[in-house]
Structure 1
Amino acid sequence: MNISEETFIANLGIHIRQLREKKGMSQQDLADDCGITQNQVGRIERAEIKTGIKTLIKIANALDVEPKDLLDFSIK
């Protein structure tokens, strides 16, 4: 399967938002736990920016999931 970078980033953002909401966390809660801004969390979830592996690891830790679980989603 060939997937565009934009599609992957968009689906990653949706998945992060779903995991965050499942944990009952606000964007600010996640941002505080990751040491990033709420604005950055929102931009990641809306696929407005690409994020690095270090930030993805921080997000995974804050959501109490394995980093690989952030990438385990269906492409839409």
Structure 2
Amino acid sequence: MSDNSLQINIGQQIQKLRELKGLSQQDLAAKCNFEKSNMSRLEAGRVNPTLSTLEKVAKALDVSLVELFNF
């Protein structure tokens, strides 16, 4: 698995979990204290997120960090 495909898979998982929770990108971005554009890039797999970023997203989605890698 290339780095890029890992980023894409994580982004897709974040989007899936966000939609299951009924949150918009703007809502999730606000809960993480991110700009919406940053959340958009994260979900699209265009950025390589840090563990700290992923931890914030997992907390905002009320899931474990491991859940973001469950794809």
* TM-score interval for Structure 1 and Structure 2 normalised by the shorter chain: over 0.9
Identify the match of residue 63 of structure 1 among 42, 61, 64: 61
Q: Which residue of 1 aligns with 2:32?
A: 34
Higher Cα Rg, which structure: 1
After TM superposition, what 4+ stretches of structure 1 lie above 2 angstroms from structure 2? none
Q: Which residue of 2 aligns with 1:20?
A: 18
Residue 7 (str. 1) matches residue 5 (str. 2)? yes
Counterpart of 2:9 in 1: which secondary structure?
helix
Deviation at 1:49, TM superposition (A): 1.0
Deviation at 1:28, TM superposition (A): 0.6
Alignment: residue pair count: 71
Identity across aligned pairs (percent)?
39
Distance of 1:8 and 1:54 partners within structure 2: 17
Q: Could you give the per-residue CA deviations for residues 13-51 of structure 1, whole angstroms, max 9, x where no partner exists? A: 111000000000000100110011110000000111111
What one-letter code is carried by the residue in structure 1 that aligns with 2:30?
A: D
What one-letter code is carried by the residue in structure 1 that aligns with 2:7?
A: I
RMSD over aligned Cα, in angstroms? 0.6
